[in-house]
Amino acid sequence: MRDEVSARAVANKASQEALLAMAERYRSLPEDERGIVDQLLSDQLASDDETVRFDSLALIREFRIVAALPALRALAESLQQQQSPGAPYERAKVDRLIGALSERPAGE
């Protein structure tokens, strides 16, 4: 789905549309099918492609996919070891997302 939506958005010179379309598709999934997609999004955090990780992080944040926490922690560790210029910034974003997903909702 990601490849299809992304290719269409790039062809239309509107790459931001890809993320919106993926979010809309996720939103339309029946609850019992979301677990499969949640796992796929978690798996994509290990991708070498920053764009794939960006999209996955955005969807995990948008839909508060707590099941992704182990994969997020693994990504944070991996980014800590990387020497690329963008690694510290992506690590900070991942750390903020881990913090947000780890917070308990008010009243718990």
Domain boundaries, the chain: 31-102
Report the candidate in 98, 94, 2, 103 with the shortest Cα–Cα distance to residue 51.
Answer: 2
pLDDT tens digits for 30-52? 999 999 999 999 999 999 988 88
Does an H or E element contain 98, and which? helix 87-102
Going by C-beta distance under 8 Å and a sequence separation of 6 or more, which residues neighbour residue 19? 55, 58, 59
10-residue mean pLDDT profile of the chain (108 residues): values are 55 66 92 95 94 92 97 97 93 97 69
